Amino acid sequence: ETGVTQSPTHLIKTRGQQVTLRCSSQSGHNTVSWYQQALGQGPQFIFQYYREEENGRGNFPPRFSGLQFPNYSSELNVNALELDDSALYLCASSLPGGTGELFFGEGSRLTVL
Amino acid sequence: QKEVEQDPGPLSVPEGAIVSLNCTYSNSAFQYFMWYRQYSRKGPELLMYTYSSGNKEDGRFTAQVDKSSKYISLFIRDSQPSDSATYLCAMSAGNNDMRFGAGTRLTVKP
């Protein structure tokens, strides 16, 4: 069984730039969620994708956007990066139903200078 | 007031101690309660999953949920140095928006 994989693991960007983070879901999981985890904080829900459509969104501005592909992999795009976007971005896959058993990847650590 | 409150610690205990970790919450719609363990620079790993009120035991770990008090706990018996990590409580109303606590950093000293 293949787990959730994310890339890149680390990246540094400057304010105003754009970034794309990628995620491959666990085998058999068709739902992907993205979370932002600031240092010393718990993960915060950004959005979820199911069947290639956004299926719920947290309190994040529109410059945070995503995609899900037919193979259930997903991308998170962030435009016009701000210093406060520096965080660990976590992708989690799950089966549909929203009961909460999420399987996380190792995360992509983004630093915005 | 945050929707999910968790004492960030840090908590330091000797090997073999019983560890008690807790969270309180304010949203009575939460029905699904989870504990995740997160090692440094890693993604969270699901430890325990409980639906509604009650207890659940898995090896050295016991999860308790008291919905009337809006209080959940995780107990670790015979703690080991390998248990040193950040423990995150999480809960969901059955929709896709899971709410996490800030995490409690635990160190188990040999």
Average pLDDT over residues B60-83: 96
Average pLDDT over residues B52-67: 93
Q: Which residues contact B94 (CB under 8 A, 6 or more apart)?
A: A97, A98, A99, B31, B32
pLDDT-derived band at A95 (thresholds 50, 70, 90) equals confident
Average pLDDT over residues B56-77: 95
B79 vs chain A: nearest CA distance in angstroms?
Answer: 23
Q: Which residue among B4, B41, B98 sits closest to A100, beta carbon to beta carbon?
A: B98
Helix, strand and coil content of chain A, in percent to the nearest 5, comes to 5, 50, 45
Average pLDDT over residues B52-62: 92
CA A99 vs CA B50, B52, B80, B102: distances in Å:
10, 11, 30, 20
pLDDT-derived band at A26 (thresholds 50, 70, 90) equals confident
Q: Check B96 against A4: CB less than 8 A apart.
A: no
Is A102 at the interface with chain B, CB within 8 A?
yes
Is A105 at the interface with chain B, CB within 8 A?
yes
Q: Which residue among B32, B96, B99 sits closest to A56, beta carbon to beta carbon?
A: B96
Average pLDDT over residues B68-96: 93
Q: What is the pLDDT of residue A98?
A: 55
**Residue A44 φ/ψ, nearest 5 degrees:** -115, 135
pLDDT-derived band at A29 (thresholds 50, 70, 90) equals confident
With beta carbons under 8 A apart, name residues in chain A contacting B91.
Answer: 100
Inform me whether the pLDDT recorded for B96 exceeds 80.
no
Average pLDDT, chain B: 93
| Mutation choice for B interface testing from A23, A32, A45, A94 by most B CBs within 10 A | A45
Q: What is the pLDDT of residue B93?
A: 87
